[in-house]
Structure 1
Amino acid sequence: MGRVKQDFVFHRDFKKEYPIITHGEGVYLFDDTGKKFLDACSGAVAANLGHGIASIGDAMAEQAKKAAFVHTMRFETKALHELAEKIGIMAPGYLNKVYFTTGGSEANESAMKLARQYHRDAGRPQKHIVIGRWQSYHGNTIGSLSAGGDVKRRHAYTPNLLNYAHVYSPYCHRCPYGREQDDCLTKQNWTCVADIERTILELGPENVSAFIAEAIVGSQQGAVPPPPGYFEKIRELCDRYQIILILDEVMTGFGRTGTHFATEQLGIEPDIITFGKGVSAGYAPLAGMIVHERLIDGLIQNSDGKFIHGYTYSGHPVAVAAGLAALEVYESDNVLENVNEQGNYLVGLLLELKQKHTCISDVRGRGLLIGIELVKDREQDLLFKPSEKAAETINSIAMELGAVFYPGTGSIDSINGEHLIISPPLNVKKTDIDEIVRILDESLSIFKSQLRKDETVEIAK
């Protein structure tokens, strides 16, 4: 067959046409027609410092000139040690050994494999099952997809997935267990926690290796934070049954929620924190895991000091240099203070928008990871049909107006539930927040108008 188009890209969606981005400046991206887009979602909540920061690009180029690649099975670099030290100091408690990968999927895969090896070599060879949560996302490799609860991504690969278990996350706005948050807090009787213990006991504690959860549920539910005390109870369960607690901070790490790691807000110390995205602010593929010294002691004592695992590009010098330079910008720009200030301002404006638009049923999140739940009518609690593609349509309208958000669907039960994530770069300015909310306001109004026209046509038929 001859070629139909002179286009050799394997696109994410072959039925879509994508703007060609030529460059970025601050919170804006520019395409080859000159149109600019306010990056109101930091790409995929990754471009945490915006675009066009010369110091990060310069640091990468300088490292590439010195040594662009070394294999960490044989060599290490000074930059590797410097970045690991910075991250280890930032991490809470005794989490102080850093293993680098190129993406969050690899980071979570590494964490689950480490948990398995740790148990096996400590004389608990049956411990192999990972418990994850529905409506969660931990990556697209087979292992991380198996642990995650993104049903839409899982379905196509069901025969290939590992036999991992799942429970529901505490989505208190629409509790899957039919409970009220105030009742749970008052009685300290959490069905979502009891379900985890029930699952552990049904599987047999001797078979359960790890429990993995996002600190704040990101793309699958739209920035849903846990209720107070939830993770403290999870920590108790994991201690009781010798289960490794993996906290996925790929989206929330490096200041996104107003602290270095969201873990600092949860009152616990996990066994492993996975990270990605923000560590290099999207300037290079970089991620990894921060490991508690207890697990490291286990490797030294029981595994001859070796983790049976590795990637070609683990600790890639140029990517690590990007991470070092990005952390320097976080510090010099006092990003944490800005996240808290602008996050509070953004939430205030969104709550005002909620009063204006009955299609917003909830505003939630932490710092500059904010989600809004979308419904057809808040007063009647009427949901959009999945076929209406509300979040995706609103985002498409916003892109026409010059801003891009992070749409999601299936947040309630994997089929129903629409949301948008608003997660601009962490150095965003107040005027940028005003523009984000202005475009969102206009997009919601246009969408509502289109919906009325469609409904009128449907009635006429």
Structure 2
Amino acid sequence: MFRLEDYVFHRDLTKTYPIITHGKGVYLYEENGKRYLDGCSGAVAANLGHGDKRIAEAMALQAEKAAFVHTMRFETDVLHKLAEKIGKLAPKQLNKVYFTCGGSEANESAIKLSRQYFRDRGEPEKQIVIGRWQSYHGNTIGSLSAGGDIKRRQPYNGYLLPFQHVSAPHCLHCPFNREESDCESKRDWSCVRELERIILEIGPGQISAFIAEPITGSQAGAMPPPKSYFREVRALCDKYDLLLIIDEVMTGFGRTGTCFAIEHDDVMPDIITFGKGVSGGYSPLGGMIVHDKIIDGIRENSNGKFLHGYTYSGHPVTIAAGVAAMDIYEQENILDNVKKLEGHLSSGLYKLKHKYPIVYDIRGRGLFFGMELASNQDGKPFASDLRISERLNELAMELGAVFYPGSGTVDGYAGDHLIIAPPLIITQGEIDELISLLNHALQALMDSMKEGS
């Protein structure tokens, strides 16, 4: 049932939205009984699926004990439990966990921590953050300033901080017209050289951090980096004394088959930010994991105080959801399930690529894949007014599946993609169903395009 008039300030006031009454496993159910296979874990957040009573019961139990304490004055045992669980999963020198209510707040916190770390060390000029175009780090002013989502930035340009941006290593659409194999063999990445050029133009004494997603998510459709890219970036950060912030909001907690996606690159960040999957989407939760050298600096130079905080940082009920989720990840060997099913999902998606000429590329890791759509096999993007990725997802929803459509794949403006990122508890049979539904949606899209031609 669609409600045409209500009191909700919808994300899009021209649309009406299905009302979901409940979910179970990888499925969501509408009030009229229609079932949707959640092919994108909501927004790559519902890693453990829907309707898990263990997480709900953990939250209810904590609400009975203590629903809220302010972390300026008190802490709870669940706060310490979750911090320990996350800290033990992180790289060895990242041992302190700061909690927020989501990824935007996590990245905002990391930006501010980088600034305070250098300011209190006696270098107040080091405050500029360098990000990458076609990246997304959140919608607060600081995180939006660091991000490179052109369409989200434009309405707020007057408010944004004077951060800088460089090209992301999207070799399929290299802005420098180079081949990945050439860059890799020569250890000479144009996008890395661009980063060094910007560092030297601004002056290392003005820059606090470089922030990047280990796999570019919503803005490029699950685009993994080249093999040695992050090792080269880490070397530059060390050379010019910049902090390296790795944004694992979408990729953390098993999404790519490792606890954190940066593990694929064997690189040590200074700060890892996280969100989404940490609570399996059951409650708003995020945070950052911080390197010992930064913690030592805050102790030595800032009297041990990070001058930042949110009312709901470390909210006990939300934290309890995180503890329960972490237990499930471990007890049910979720990482093993991701590794086991990665090949099955990728195989199904590649079959669709071979079948439909509009599927230009398939890429990704674990249970985090992108499907790029183009008007020909040379990768020419569709006209943006055709809304190709949105139309494909709308057709999929009619059939009973939902995915994560995106645009601006090629250059921030042109290009369409779909993210396929089902809950990490999915089975092989459910992946077969997902591929079948996506197959029918692609066929329906192709048929509609023929009718319109």
Please classify the TM superposition score into its range, dividing by the shorter chain length.
over 0.9
The yes-or-no answer on 1:346 pairing with 2:345 is yes
Residue 390 of structure 1: aligned partner: 388
Q: Does residue 417 in structure 1 map to residue 399 in structure 2?
A: no
Q: Distance in 2 between matches of 1:123 and 1:132?
A: 24
Counterpart code for 1:417: G
Aligned to 1:74: 73
Name the residue aligned to 2:226.
227
Amino acid of the structure 2 residue aligned with 1:308: L
CA deviations over 1:385-429 (Å, ceiling 9, x no partner):
101100000000000000000000001111111000000000100
For the residues of structure 2 that align with 1:103 and 1:266, how far apart are their CA atoms? 25
The 3 A distance-change label for structure 1 pair 6 and 175 is closer
* TM-superposed deviation, 1:5: 7.0
Aligned residue for 1:156, secondary structure, equals helix
**1:95 equivalenced with 2:99 (yes/no):** no
Instruction: Write the deviation string for residues 291-318 of structure 1: whole angstroms up to 9, x where unpaired.
Output: 0010000000000000000000000000
Equivalent residue pairs, number = 451
- The CA distance in 2 between the partners of 1:195 and 1:213, in whole Å, is 15
Name which of 385, 389, 397 aligns with 1:399.
Answer: 397
Question: Where does residue 431 of structure 1 map in the other structure?
Answer: 429
Tell me, in whole angstroms, the C-alpha distance in 1 between the residues paired with 2:253 and 2:227. Answer: 22
Q: Deviations over 1:215-247 (max 9, x none)?
A: 100000000011011001111100111101000
1:459 maps to none
Identity, % of aligned positions: 59
1:427-453 per-residue CA deviation (whole Å, 9 max, x = no partner) reads: 100011001111111111110111111
CA distance in 1, matches of 2:390, 2:342: 24
Change (3 A) 1:190 1:6: closer
Q: How much has 1:349 moved relative to structure 2?
A: 1.1
Q: 1:35-69, CA deviations, whole angstroms, 9 ceiling, x for partnerless residues?
A: 01000000000000100000000000000000000
Question: d(CA) in 1 for partners of 2:140 and 2:22?
Answer: 30
SS in 2 for 1:182: helix
1:166-187 alpha-carbon deviations (Å, 9 max, x no partner): 0010001111211100100111
What's the CA shift string for 1:180-221, capped at 9, x where partnerless?
A: 001001111110000000000000110011000001000000
Question: Structure 1's 226 and 450: CA in aligned 2 closer, same or farther, altered over 3 A?
Answer: same
> Which of 444, 448, 452 is the matching residue for 2:442?
444
Alignment match, 2:9: 10
Letter of the aligned partner of 2:426 in structure 1?
Answer: V
The CA distance in 1 between the partners of 2:282 and 2:32, in whole Å, is: 24
Aligned residue type for 2:305: K
Residue 382 (structure 1) shift: 3.0
Task: State the secondary structure of the residue aligned to 2:433.
Answer: helix
Q: TM-score, normalised by structure 1?
A: 0.97
Instruction: Supply the AA of the counterpart residue of 1:177.
Output: F
| Matched position secondary structure for 2:272 | strand
1:306 is aligned to 2:305 = yes
How far apart, CA to CA, are the structure 1 residues paired with 2:441 and 2:387?
Answer: 14
- 1:114-172 CA-partner distances (Å, limit 9, x unpaired): 00000001111100100000000000000000000001100000101000000010001
For structure 1, which segment, 46-55 or 344-353, has the greater mean C-alpha deviation from structure 2 after superposition? 344-353
For structure 1, which segment, 336-345 or 56-65, has the greater mean C-alpha deviation from structure 2 after superposition?
336-345
How many angstroms apart in 2 are the aligned matches of 1:304 and 1:118? 12
In the alignment, the residues of structure 2 paired with residue 382 and residue 241 of structure 1 have an alpha-carbon distance, to the nearest angstrom, of 39
Work out the CA distance in 2 between the residues paired with 1:119 and 1:148.
Answer: 21
Q: Distance in 2 between matches of 1:172 and 1:413?
A: 12
- The 3-state SS of whatever aligns with 1:157 is helix
Match of 2:62 in 1: 63
Matched residue type, 1:435: E
Separation in 2 of the partners of 1:87 and 1:69? 22
AA at the equivalent of 2:406: G
**What aligned pairs does 1:76-225 form with structure 2 within 5 A after superposition?**
76-225=75-224
What is the correspondence of 1:372-387 to structure 2 with a 5 Å cutoff?
372-378=371-377, 380-387=378-385
Q: Which amino acid aligns with 1:368?
A: L
Alignment partners' CA distance in 1, 2:313 and 2:87: 17
- AA aligned to 2:410 is I
Amino acid at match of 1:357: Y
State the 4+ residue runs in structure 1 displaced beyond 4 angstroms.
none
Q: State the alpha-carbon separation in 1 of the partners of residues 444 and 78 from structure 2.
A: 49
Give the letter aligned to residue 159 of structure 1.
G
Task: Find the aligned partners of 1:297 and 1:42 in 2 and give their Cα distance.
Answer: 38
Once the two structures are overlaid, the 10-residue window that deviates more, 349-358 or 416-425, is: 349-358
State the Cα deviation string for residues 252-311 of structure 1 (Å, max 9, x = none): 000000001112111110000000000000000000000001000000000000000000
How far apart, in 1, do the equivalents of 2:92 and 2:350 lie?
A: 36
TM-score (norm 2): 0.99
How far did 1:93 drift?
2.0
